[in-house]
Structure 1
Amino acid sequence: MLLLDLTTGIAVSLLEHPREVRRITWRSPETLDLVLAIPCDEDEQRFGTTSLACSISRDDWDRAAVGMLRMPYGETPVPDQPPTDTAVAVAAVSHLCQQRGQVWVARRGVWAVEGLADGRILTTLEGVGLECWSGTTGQLLWQVPVDGTGYQIRVLPGGRTALVLTQVSHRYRDGRWTQDPSVVLEVDLDDGAVRKSHRSSRPAVLVSRTDGSWALRDTDYDRRSRTAGEVAFGPPADGATTIPLGPYDLFNHFFDIRYAPELLFLEGQRNEPWRDKWVVAVDAPTGRVRRLFPLEWDAPRGRRLFGGSGAYLDDTAGPALVHSGAVHAGAGPLPGNAFVVRRRFPTGEPQWVFTADREAAALDAGDTFVYVVFTSGELIVLRAEDGVVHARQELRIAGRPVVPLSLARVGAGRLAIGTLDGQVLVVPVSASAHAPTTEELSGPAP
């Protein structure tokens, strides 16, 4: 909750601890009436509602200070409104579309996109393991439905088969939340037929290298788990070796590197996986772990860094990893704490660093440019050689901002961007420094 001084233009965050403010009214110059969300889920049982009302009177609003409104607020329960019947909303939207000769299909979160050599575009999302689009007409060519959500795509050498990692959401069973194992599908890219299915022992993330070797890392972050962080290889070394790489850190162990010549992971301390994090390579099928370089490239700062997405490239400046990440801050996202860095491979020395205020959602790179979409909704194109900004654009469709989740190069000067609301945007990027323009795939992903 911010108090804005209309004379000075200064805004002050008043609440000592973050809370959702659902309603706010000045009753008088001294008294503010608020309706706040409950602090935590347990309070719903205590109060029988998710909304609490309170009134705060002060005579020093003109001298507002950060966090001046401290608990307790003397809150009283406010009855919740009846929940919206989603079936009614769906029926209403479907009816409106039918009146206009259109078919409405609910779509959510395009978590991964990939381009094929013939111009087709692959996507994966909630309820869809893999779908294939024409990159020229925007026609949906085929689709593989799944129970759960598709999160990662890896096209195997030769371009005839893709691996797709799918995951069913958390389920509430026997008084606790549980999560099913991840499933990796081998999909024929000619017709969308599922050739094989590989079931992990636990929830996992997929890591691959350019020769087609791949592995799954157990993402169970329960410290009591005996398999948390283990790495298991896919075929042909399937089941031959399991590597205890240390516990998986819930928020900052993800290290999704395109075109990697090695199976690359992040490894921290055994008991505190968020500390002293290194980029390591795991050899398949022997399972030998090789430390390459610390994630933090400036050791004296001793910062706690989060991993992110990235790409391997080998250009005139030599072999390198370009990867995104963020600096941990207990106060939440801070300006300049997100970054994209180019590092020599395999030694890790930084060649350039680009900083941002919001974290990168996805990254891809070619010989000339690095393409990054941020959670702010911005696309930034950096020169691969020196990190200089070549172009930047806020992503909007019909004037409305979109939230990007995934990105991939899909041909010369073209990007595909998957969004939170199920859209797939095709963005031409010119070699000259000007803002990209945005197109859309037709069909169910308008």
Structure 2
Amino acid sequence: MLAIPSDADKQPFGTTSLACSISRDDWDRAVVGMLRMPYGETPVPDGPPPDTAVAVAAVSQLCRQRGQVWVARRGVWAVEGLADGRILTALEGVGLDCWSGSTGRLLWQVPVDGTGYQIRVLPGGRTALVLTQVSQRYRDGWWIQDPSVVLEVDLDDGAVRKTHRSSSPAVLVSRTDGSWALRDTDWNRRSRTAGEVAFGPPADDATTIPLGPYDLFNHFFDIRYAPELLFLQGQRNEPWRDKWVVAVDAPTGRVRRLFPLEWDAPQGRRLFGGSGAYLDDGTGPALVHSGAVHSGAGPLPENAFVVRRRYPTGEPQWIFTVDRAAAALDADDTFVYVVFTSGELIVLGAEDGVVRARQELRIAGRPVVPLSLARVGAGRLAIGTLDGQVLVLPVSASTHAPTTEGFSEPALGGLSQSAGAGA
């Protein structure tokens, strides 16, 4: 029993499963081509889809029997902390949640059609930008991606003050003075605006900037505390080649090349972008960012990395290599905090890249998959997970290492705080 080769084959076959038969007189020896796919696969009728209403009713009943209220939540793609201790989250079906950082109580919520993916708190801490996106749809042999929407949300009460509709799917890039821009991410190359940068207000009447196509997976470059609007730019016809970190001035639109993403030119590697942060500490201004080395063989040992680079010239100051890609990164003048798709949190020294602490993230003994991370006040980190929770981790004042031992049982749909964090 095999899956159809691709989604486009569902229409001619009328199903997502195929049956085939491979016969041999002698199965004791392996020979070249012995498992080559035969022609004439037989479509296998798809079974009835699962009744999600039955599953929801069963889970809800079990929770009620135990005095719990069950609410379905999925992937917390962004988390941010406010100066007063509140915590913001963005996730599937929710543009923005606002939580009390001390009690884990939900204060207000901004529901959306689609998913909240990025949060930017504007200077002054009174307003946040939230980028939302509905899921892509498959139609007539093509994946259809609707344009992104950016909401301006009042952080006092959760009221949506303005709605900015992009002309395409996009990612949000900002700088510390509040200027922001959207980069078109239409990687299918069907849009004439693919890769263009459009500025947010007050510069949104300016001409868009053609920055070149957005290469899927490779061009994401989400830098916290950046003094400039930073992007990755490759060759126009082959955007994955010769990728540079560039700064785009707002509102003039002037593009300045800063440094190549590949810091070791003789190796000629194809690097992917990632999340990062701008620092200006005792060793001077720098970018600390994550990324990965592309390999046709799939993930390879030490092919993912976190690197600190002098700003704006790009010389590497330290390099930390790992086996799994970074999911999110934040930093202060002393430490760099990174969560990885392996479920591990690692704390690095900001000046030297030396590992200060590392911890596998678990709740009640079960591993979780982190999607987002942010510092949320002195001595605390918040980590958003794939299953819709937010872990609030206290940090030891003496070692500055996260205390993740002995998580309390999380409140369903809310904030999960580790022991000693006020749960």
Is contact 2:364–2:408 with CA below 8 Å preserved after alignment?
no
Q: Is the alpha carbon distance of 1:321 and 1:53 closer, same or farther for their aligned partners in structure 2, counting shifts above 3 Å?
A: same
Rounded Cα–Cα distance in structure 1 between residues aligned with 2:130 and 2:408 = 23
Question: Deviation at 1:80?
Answer: 3.9
Shift of 1:54: 5.5
- In the aligned structure 2, how far is the partner of 1:241 from the partner of 1:42? 38
Tell me which of 325, 330, 334 is aligned to 1:359: 325
CA deviation profile, 1:244-285 (whole Å, cap 9, x unmatched): 111111121110000000000000001111110000000111
Change (3 A) 1:175 1:252: closer
- Once the two structures are TM-superposed, the CA of residue 103 in structure 1 deviates from its matched residue by 1.5
Task: Choose 93-102 or 59-68, whichever is displaced more.
Answer: 59-68
2:12 counterpart SS class:
helix
Deviation at residue 146 of structure 1 after TM alignment: 1.1
Distance in 2 of aligned mates of 1:118 and 1:39: 52
* Mean Cα deviation higher: 69-78 or 141-150: 69-78
Whether the aligned pair in 2 keeps the contact of 1:358 and 1:374 (CA below 8 Å) is: yes
Aligned to 2:31: 65
Contact 2:22–2:38 (8 Å) recurs in 1: no
Distance 1:439 1:95 in 2: 31
Structure 2 Cα separation of the partners of residues 377 and 66 of structure 1? 39
Residue pair 2:364, 2:409 contacting (<8 A) in 1 also: no
Say if 1:93 and 1:104, in contact at 8 Å, map to a contact too: yes
Structure 1, residues 292-347: CA drift from partner, whole Å, max 9, x if none?
A: 00000000000000000000011111110000000111111111111000000000
Q: Structure 1 pair 277/145, CA: closer, same or farther in 2 (3 Å)?
A: same
C-alpha separation in 1, matches of 2:20 and 2:150: 50
Alignment gaps of 5+ in structure 2: 412-423
1:87 aligned counterpart, secondary structure: helix
8 Å Cα contact 1:426-1:439 kept in structure 2:
no
Structure 1 stretch displaced more, 347-356 or 62-71: 62-71
Change (3 A) 1:329 1:72: farther
Q: Once structures 1 and 2 are overlaid, which stretch shifts more, 317-326 or 329-338? A: 329-338
Task: Verify the 8 A CA contact 1:139 1:443 in the aligned structure 2.
Answer: no
Deviation at 1:160, TM superposition (A): 0.9
Deviation at 1:75, TM superposition (A): 6.0
Paired residues of 2:212 and 2:236 also in contact (CA < 8 A): yes
Does the C-alpha gap of structure 1 residues 441 and 66 become closer, same or farther in structure 2, counting only changes over 3 Å? farther
Q: 1:99 Cα deviation (Å)?
A: 2.3
The 8 Å contact of residues 354 and 387 in structure 1, kept in 2 or not, is answered as: yes
1:105 aligns with 2:44: no
- 8 Å contact from structure 1 (residues 267, 277) kept in 2: yes
* Kept in 2: contact 1:426–1:441 (CA 8 A): no
Change (3 A) 1:67 1:161: farther
Q: Supply the distance in 1 between the matched residues of 2:115 and 2:66 (Cα, whole angstroms).
A: 30
Q: In 2, Cα distance between the equivalents of 1:59 and 1:174? A: 43
1:219 positional shift: 0.9
Give the TM-score of the pair, scaled to structure 2: 0.90
- Please report how far the alpha carbon of residue 399 of structure 1 lies from its aligned counterpart in structure 2 after TM superposition: 1.5
Is contact 2:21-2:38 (8 Å) kept?
no
Cα distance change of structure 1 residues 273 and 436 upon mapping to structure 2, 3 Å threshold: same
- Residue 196 of structure 1 and its aligned partner are, at CA, apart by 1.1
Determine helix, strand or coil for the equivalent of 1:210. coil
Deviation at 1:201, TM superposition (A): 1.3
The root-mean-square deviation of aligned C-alpha atoms, in Å, is 2.7
State the TM-score, normalizing by the size of structure 1. Answer: 0.85
Aligned partner of 1:325 in structure 2 is 291
How far does residue 227 in structure 1 lie from its aligned partner after superposition? 0.5
Q: Give how far 1:92 is off.
A: 1.3
Q: Distance in 1 between matches of 2:203 and 2:400?
A: 47
Q: Is the 8 A contact 2:374 2:383 kept in 1?
A: yes
